[in-house]
Amino acid sequence: MTSKPAAAAARATVYGYPRQGPDRELKKAVEGYWKGRVTAGALRETAAELRRSNWRRLADAGIHEVPTGDFSYYDHVLDTSVMVGAVPGRHRDAVASDSLGGYFAMARGTQDVAPLEMTKWFDTNYHYLVPELGPGTVFTADSTKQVGELKEALALGHTARPVLVGPVTYLLLAKPAPGVAADFEPLTLLDRLLPVYAEVLADLRAAGAEWVQLDEPALVQDRTPAELNATARAYRDLGALTDRPQLLVASYFDRLDEALPILAKAPVEGLALDFTGAAAAHLEDLAAVGGLPGKRLVAGIVNGRNIWINDYEKSLATLATLLGLAGRVDVAASCSLLHVPLDTAPEKDIDPEVLGWLAFARQKTAEVVTLAKGLARGTEAVAAELAANRAALASRAGSPITRDPAVRARARAVADADGRRSQPYTERAAAQRAHLGLPLLPTTTIGSFPQTGELRTARADLRAGRIDTAGYEKRIRTEIGEVIAFQEKTGIDVLVHGEPERNDMVQYFAEQLTGYLATQHGWVQSYGTRYVRPPVLAGDISRPEPMTVRWTSYAQSLTERPVKGMLTGPVTMLAWSFVRDDQPLGDTARQVALALRDEVDDLEASGTSVIQVDEPALRETLPLRAADHADYLAWATEAFRLTTSGVRPDTQIHTHMCYAEFGDIVQAIDDLDADVISLEAARSHMRVAHELAAHGYPREAGPGVYDIHSPRVPSAEEAAQLLRTGLKAIPAERLWVNPDCGLKTRAWPETRASLENLVAAARTVRDELPAS
């Protein structure tokens, strides 16, 4: 393929970059600040140096226009709430007296003040803090952060473009504040919010911004006519401002569909569109609306969410077609590179051939630059890069790593009966009650207990050879013994072993399954200072040997109470990995489900009576368009049932989900056919319990009464009150008592106190129940 140079030289840009630094310097500085070991000034200087380093690397790589404002101490949506003055009343005094401390209080809460609710950012594993708004909300502009970071970049000689969450998306992501009617629609505040955005835009222009990017990813979801009309009005009004920079409205994660013609006609100077995955249809959609004559199009042609290398020839062909549809075409990743690790170079344990198939943020930046160069100067200018890219793509396509005939044959042989329990729930429930003998309102935890510094040190010492396997396993057995003893003393009914041997709920299993690759430095932000290393699902999946049976059996040997076996479910194994893109997700899910089914069967055979298969990503992975939901939920729920349906009727299957909106997948939760489901509910005040009741959910459920993403310790009465609220929706014989999520990130003192209060609350409310 040979292409001619573009009429106007294409520029390379990105929408955002990983925040943490090559050695997670931001995480260490923020957590040091929380513990009083790092001053606010030192934290700010660490953050400033990370921003400078990111901009320098982007510019040195050939990025023509660097983003500003994408950096955050905790969350960019929280930053937007600060920018528009939407600070909840309960946090205003703290923010006024100490802006940084108050900022973190909104994110994490304090012992006396609850934090903002947290949920998933569209269909990613990033979490944002949900704005709380009401009819009385008064917006005020505070562009300090946005202007300050722009000036930093400009002072270093960079061409910079501030990136803001757009006003429509901000309001669509918000929820009614506590005490506000549940049917309040934050979008009704648009006319109040737009003048604040106008003020921020004027401030940025005065500071030197030529362009400002307004991110509107909410517009790739199904939107009502009223929401689309509000979008048209918002960008009509912002476009009509005279004191503003040029506006680039960006969307990503899917196609705009009915919002595209609205934005194409809006009086803004540019659009940034995703052209990867399903959003590749933007090419035809853009032609159908007559293109963007005289406007700037930023083409998100490099996948910003996955880690597989770009197909240069295919991308350049798309870009060449786009040249005829816009006044100028620039090249970018499809979304912020926040969602991928920083760099493949430190990954010394991955085969160099396989490493050549992968692109992290730095490699994706290079891909964007190469494609911009090829578009601007013609393919001859990037001939060497094209040849290397073709070779890497061919290497992956032909590798035996990606195909295992035995795995594929087993997956093809799956029958409908393999995904169904042998008895209906009512019969299973009776058998389980007789077998387990649990009280009403049984207490349990979600799985993990605090991962102490001693545990992390032991794991590091094992990797470094400072201790041998026997010494490491002795430390793990000691920790399990302490966790079991604490739970027995506290009075918890169904115990867990605490997962001290697990580094991560996905990575731990990925390292023991064929077809997965583990990284050593592939950290990605999940929320705040919580970073994960998603494994790479590169080939067909199988389980060579049991993964959890030994530790679960050891824990069970220490107690007469039931100990849950703990597994991560097939959908979450996919969603929290960088999953292969060369076959349908449903096919890959079936392979993972069969591997996990073997583990479930072995746990049951070893004497485990309660097995939890976590699926926190089921809602998160739901496609953004309703038309795509049915197909996804069909294979996702089938994969869960395939994992769990081989057990006896008296073996109790649990699942767990957290930090998502569950109301629109209650039928899918029902279709999982789990005996017990535990769900996040503390921050949302038991909303999910009422959603389950409204659906007529017939099984047992544990809406969480302890928010584990905050350091505060809930009182026994607070937990009891949540339980009483839950009992209004779920009868006592089907209600469980548990935290929202696992306790890995919490410290032991707050964990002990919180669980003691949780058990006390269960006893109090149990005593309040009418005698049967």
Q: Which of the residues are catalytic?
A: 709
Pair of tokens at residue 401: 């790593």
Please work out, in degrees rounded to the nearest 5, the angle formed at the alpha carbon of residue 471 by the alpha carbons of 466 and 473. 125
Closest to 371 in 3D by CA, of 62, 673, 103: 62
CA–CA dist 268, 574 (Å, integer): 38
Is residue 68 within a helix (H) or strand (E), and if so which, with residue range?
strand 66-68
DSSP assigned state of 539? E
| Residue entry with tokens 């292409």 | 3
Please work out, in degrees rounded to the nearest 5, the angle formed at the alpha carbon of residue 532 by the alpha carbons of 304 and 686. 100
Asked whether 303 and 333 are in contact (CB, 8 A), the reply is: yes
Three-state secondary structure along 664-711? HHHHHHHHHCCCEEEECCCCCCCHHHHHHHHHCCCCEEEECCCCCCCC
DSSP assigned state of 627? G
Q: How far is CA 59 from the centre of its chain?
A: 28
Pair of tokens at residue 132: 């709380």
Q: What is the DSSP string of 273-286?
A: EE-SGGGGGHHHHH
Closest to 211 in 3D by CA, of 153, 135, 256: 153
CA–CA dist 372, 299 (Å, integer): 10
Please work out, in degrees rounded to the nearest 5, the angle formed at the alpha carbon of residue 192 by the alpha carbons of 187 and 194. 85
Asked whether 524 and 531 are in contact (CB, 8 A), the reply is: yes
DSSP assigned state of 302? E
CA–CA dist 184, 181 (Å, integer): 6
Q: How far is CA 74 from the centre of its chain?
A: 14
Asked whether 287 and 275 are in contact (CB, 8 A), the reply is: no
DSSP assigned state of 14? -
Tell whether the torsion through CA atoms of 278, 280, 284 and 289 is positive or negative: positive
Pair of tokens at residue 413: 């042989």
| Pairing of β 610-614 and β 676-679 | unpaired
Q: Which residues contact 409 (CB under 8 A, 6 or more apart)?
A: none
707, with CB counted inside 10 A (0-12, 13-18, 19+), is buried
Give strand pairing partners of 38: none
